[in-house]
Amino acid sequence: MAKILVIDDEVALLRALGTGLRARGYELLTAETGEDGLLQAAQEEPDVVLLDLGLPDLDGVEVCKRLRKWTAVPVVVLSAHGTEARKVEALDSGADDFITKPFGMPELEARLRVALRHRRALAGAPEEATIEVGPIVIDIAGRSVRVDGHPVDLTPREFDLLAFLARNRGRVITHRVLLEEVWGEGYGTETHYLRVYVNHLRKKVEADPAHPRLLHTSPGIGYQLVSPDESG
């Protein structure tokens, strides 16, 4: 049974989430302050942390940074702000995904499943030789990609982009991080490069590039590679 730690100061939301998550078979821990959340994360070792960005004592982004100093536990940010800048800040500080309030329980559960699978995958093999994401199989050493068993021709840049997203599958990777990892330092603001390369990649790996099921866009924030069965 997966353990979920919810850090949010809204008691009513904790109660609503708690009821729904318990009914879905999760074990629930709750914290109303950032400090308490950090303490419980250390003591109880949850499988996923749901973190509100507006806490009374600590900024949510700060909680995220402190968690990342010692744990790789998936962090899904609950954001009521609606501003993209805050989400990007949280993702760059080590959060894996975000969900915007108000959200439905099925949507939340889908994010939890992605986060949990991501955690298991990371726990399994730190330096994978091949990575599988749904129908995509990536041979890291041989720099080759197969989709549904058929080889696909990728440019070196496309391969690097796909490989980086695959190594971080399930996580929302911000534009800035993708550009710096794949293109290098100094490319942090050239988001139009990304749009072009992601479109090329979709044509090569998606069954229907107009309705992507593997390579998702978070408008204004970044991209995320998920297995189609995870995306709920």
Among 27, 35, 71, 80, binds other proteins (CB under 8 A): 80
Applying CB under 8 A, does 104 fall inside the site for other proteins?
yes
Distance CA 29, CA 148 (A): 40
CB of 140 to other proteins, least distance (A): 37
Rg of the chain over Cα atoms, rounded to whole angstroms, equals: 18
The token pair at 152 is 């696909």
CB burial string 74-105: b at 16+ within 10 A, e below: bbbbbbeeeebebbbbbbbbbbbbbbeeeeee
CA-wise closest residue to 76 among 114, 102, 41: 114
Applying CB under 8 A, does 154 fall inside the site for other proteins?
no
Among 27, 59, 92, 132, binds other proteins (CB under 8 A): 59
CB of 25 to other proteins, least distance (A): 9
CB of 113 to other proteins, least distance (A): 13
Applying CB under 8 A, does 122 fall inside the site for other proteins?
no
Instruction: Calculate ∠ Cα 204-209-212, nearest 5°.
Output: 110
The residue behind tokens 């702000």 is: 81
Which is nearer to other proteins, 58 or 221 (by Cβ)? Answer: 58
Applying CB under 8 A, does 58 fall inside the site for other proteins?
yes
Among 1, 43, 69, 102, binds other proteins (CB under 8 A): 102
- Interface segment toward other proteins; rule CB under 8 A; list 16-24, 37-45, 182-190, 193-201: 16-24
Cis amide leading into 151 (omega within 30): no
Among 7, 31, 51, 55, binds other proteins (CB under 8 A): 55
CA-wise closest residue to 67 among 50, 82, 54: 50
Among 3, 10, 110, 213, binds other proteins (CB under 8 A): 10
Applying CB under 8 A, does 213 fall inside the site for other proteins?
no
The residue behind tokens 């078979």 is: 25
Distance CA 68, CA 177 (A): 16
Applying CB under 8 A, does 229 fall inside the site for other proteins?
no
Binding stretches for other proteins (CB under 8 A) = 10-13, 15-17, 19-20, 22-24, 54-59, 80-82, 101-108
